[in-house]
Amino acid sequence: MISEIMERALEPLDIVKFSNLREQQKRLQEIPREDIKKIVDAIIDRGVHLIESDVNHVFFYKNPYYISKHADVKEKLAVKSISEQTGSSFDSSTEESDAEEEEDGATFQEEWITIGNFDFVTAIHQLTAFVEKWELTPATKFVVIAQEFAEEVKPFGHRYFAEIHFSKPTPKCPNPLAAAKLYFHINICSYLPPFYPIMITYKFEGFKTMYYAVGERKLSSNKFQRYLIDSILHMKLAFYAELWDCRNPLKPLEKRKKSGF
């Protein structure tokens, strides 16, 4: 970083660029302070209005892990500069940092892809890994259904959609009658910095509560999901069983006649 600044300082002065900057400064000095204050106040009011309009905080939210991570990076850079001054090997520090990057990339630790690096396929892979961590009832399987289609949510940004269907197939019934659906929203804000993570929210079929996969509203438990999924499957199977009995009212009577009652 210091070497780059020194190189820029030694570069020849760009007269055209310098004169343009001087001209811009003169124009700014000519603008009355009251007008500048009105512009700044309007920008602030617009920002406050946007944030307050996002009631569910799916487009405007606090970054859950960047600040601490950024501080760690600063500490690493400081240690690295000291080690360089004391004559430590640059190659060894580079190998350590590469090893740390490989460890971070090997397992998904719920550090979602950032807005600036957003890729739909990567987001779906991370979403699948996120659901795989849930402690579901044995024999529960799921399939991810997603199409790369974005809906513009004015004035906040864009939203992608994905569904995950849960079921309990058996050898006798590989295509189960009942499936519990979860609806996921992948929200990409147009105003947040590019280093912010994307926001993931989801709802269970038949329930209105919205759950968050990112940020301070995210639930740390990986167990509660199975109760809702099992409840949906149980309700659907009970409904189908009742519907079958209604369509076949004489079936129980036939069984009684055969048994001699």
Asked if pLDDT for residue 99 goes beyond 50, the answer is no
pLDDT digits (tens, 9 = 90+) for 207-243: 999 999 998 899 888 999 999 999 999 988 887 766 6
Give alpha helix (H) positions in the chain: 2-10, 15-30, 33-53, 66-85, 90-106, 120-132, 224-247, 251-259
- Residue keyed to tokens 């590469």: 98
Helix axes 66-85, 90-106, angle to 10 degrees: 160
Copy the structure tokens of residue 192: 């947040």
| Confidence bin at 244 (pLDDT 50/70/90) | low
Q: Where are the chain's structural domains?
A: 17-52, 113-245
What does the pLDDT look like over 140-177, one tens digit per residue?
Answer: 999 999 988 999 999 999 999 999 999 998 887 777 87
Phi, psi of 101 (to 5 degrees): -65, -40
Higher pLDDT: 176 or 25? It is: 176
